[in-house]
Amino acid sequence: MLVSKKAQGHLIALFTIFIWGTTYISTKVLLTEFKPIEILFFRFMLGYFTLWILAPHFLSWQGIRKELLFMAAGFCGVTCYFLCENIALTYTTASNVGVIASLAPVFTAILAMFFLKAETPSLRFYIGCLLAVFGVVLISFNGTFVLSLNPLGDFLAVVACLFWAGYSILTKKSSSFDCNIILLTRRFFFYGLILMLPALYLFNFEWGLVRFYKPVNMLNILFLGVGASAICFVSWNYAVKLVGAVKISIYIYLVPIITIISAVIILKEPFNLIAAVGTLLTLSGVVLSQGKRSKKQ
């Protein structure tokens, strides 16, 4: 039985989110010896060269208008999203960031109404979002209901969500061009890395390649660079092309579920009834939000 293109898109999104949900483990391991900006740069540099290996073809100049769109996508999805999120974690709690990050699909839906006229979410979508947000709150706090306000960190987490929403819209627009998805993603990475250079100076980036002599560091950066960056950004962009930015963005709610399950299995972190209820609510919200919308894409 043939699988429809939209069904393929949903399956690809699930695969992508499964990988992204486990990146927390690798990042946590690397943070013992690397700064956040170093992990960010190394993973996307590795991802960039991996995409050259996967598609050793040059993407010609697409014209100033399209190239500016690609640059904006790289700036939003590669440079600013991860940079804001990493900096936010130094000022506020991981729980706060986790809860705030769950707003990304809502921001994506709002931006889509202005920039992607064909993607107008239904009431069912928003109800599903609210249900999923509540589930993420339970998962993030895992039974400890203490939401401390850290204005700068929380503000940066909100800004990170806006950048990811912007990236989702820009990739949807870019996917309408007649470009190979791997070459297109590589162009996003190129601009993202270039625009990341000032941050390397500001945050005292150090090469320290000797740190990769340790197998644990090498394996984790390979996972982040090849799997979570190169392969997953391509698969995510392809899923957005097949299904649409709004519906695909809802899968972001599954990240904390996969993260907490992998943390329980690998890091032996606790998992209680509150987190289990949160997981169920989040899954229910995702399923509910995938209903029909007011306009076809």
Amino acid identity, position 105:
P
Q: What is the mean pLDDT of residues 218-230?
A: 95
Per mean pLDDT, which of 114-118, 133-137, 228-232 is the most reliable? 228-232
Q: How confident is the model at residue 135 (pLDDT cuts 50, 70, 90)?
A: confident
What pLDDT is attached to residue 295? 46
* pLDDT tens digits, one per residue of 53-91: 999 999 999 999 999 999 999 999 999 998 888 788 778
User: With 60 as the cut, is the pLDDT of residue 144 above it?
Assistant: no
Do 253 and 282 contact (CB within 8 A), yes or no? yes
User: With 80 as the cut, is the pLDDT of residue 120 above it?
Assistant: no
What pLDDT is attached to residue 95? 60
Q: How confident is the model at residue 294 (pLDDT cuts 50, 70, 90)?
A: very low
Q: What is the mean pLDDT of residues 200-210?
A: 93
Computed over every residue of the chain, the mean pLDDT equals 84
Q: What is the mean pLDDT of residues 277-285?
A: 81
pTM of the predicted structure, to 2 decimals:
0.83
Q: How confident is the model at residue 269 (pLDDT cuts 50, 70, 90)?
A: low
What pLDDT is attached to residue 96? 66
